[in-house]
Structure 1
């Protein structure tokens, strides 16, 4: 997490005026449903756009364990996303091996530390594609 609950609260309260810009990059809010609790869990994450989709990385700073939000969305891929004041439902999926190199380069351009994180773990760090659900 970037700044945890405080980051989430300020982002929501200000429609992202506080919290969208973060350490030289941009952050969104991702809300998943806890796979054990069934409760909504909101996490601030660095993101980038790729066409109509948004990209996030399940790095957990290079930990050998994936972040809980990633485990949650694998169980239930329908998520909520907030970018600034835009809140919407999305379907989350892990980038395929064929598309990952291009998407990884987009994400490391926004946050170069992702490349360092890969050196800390044997775990394959996924890029997650968030596809807006239109009703």
Structure 2
């Protein structure tokens, strides 16, 4: 079996210009510009593409609980799960940048009980998550729990 080396240091950035600029500002300023986006905290999640093995970086709104980071696979209310979510279900080891900190972590989908506990906190932070959930129906928007390995 061939060992594949994952290049965490050179991830692909999002294609939409607005998201790509957000990521570039976040990275170049160590999170000083970009950590807060429209008044809410964001992190950069780097996942491994399930098909190619290449890494890709995505900015996401997050909440914290007991040292864990919580994100929603909303995909702006699209009918399908976003690529970053499908990637982490295939390869749960991820990298996070939260402000200036870069962390190794693992990600998993919250169980129904965890989802019920955390969903109100996520919608309090970003009320549009409820709109995205309605637009995506019948797809349920996964809530993802990310735990640092560092």
Scaled to the shorter chain, the TM-score interval is over 0.9
Between the aligned partners of 1:35 and 1:80, the Cα distance in structure 2 is: 15
Aligned to 1:123: 139
Aligned to 2:23: 8
Shift of 1:21: 0.7
> Structure 1: 5+ residue runs without aligned partners?
none
Structure 2 residue 64 is the aligned partner of structure 1 residue 82: no
The one-character-per-residue Cα deviations of 1:71-129 (angstroms, maximum 9, x if unpaired) are 00000000000000100111000000011011111110110000111111210101000
Shift of 1:51: 1.1
Aligned to 2:120: 105
> Which is greater in Rg?
2
User: What secondary structure sits across from 2:32 in the alignment?
Assistant: coil
> Structure 2: 5+ residue runs without aligned partners?
1-13
CA RMSD after TM alignment:
1.2
Aligned to 1:61: 76
Indicate the larger mover: 101-110 or 3-12.
3-12
Between the aligned partners of 2:144 and 2:61, the Cα distance in structure 1 is: 11
Shift of 1:54: 0.3
Structure 2 residue 116 is the aligned partner of structure 1 residue 73: no
Indicate the larger mover: 70-79 or 101-110.
101-110
Shift of 1:37: 1.6
What stretches of structure 1 move > 4 A for 4+ residues in a row? none
> Normalization by structure 2: what TM-score?
0.86
> Normalization by structure 1: what TM-score?
0.95
User: What secondary structure sits across from 1:99 in the alignment?
Assistant: helix
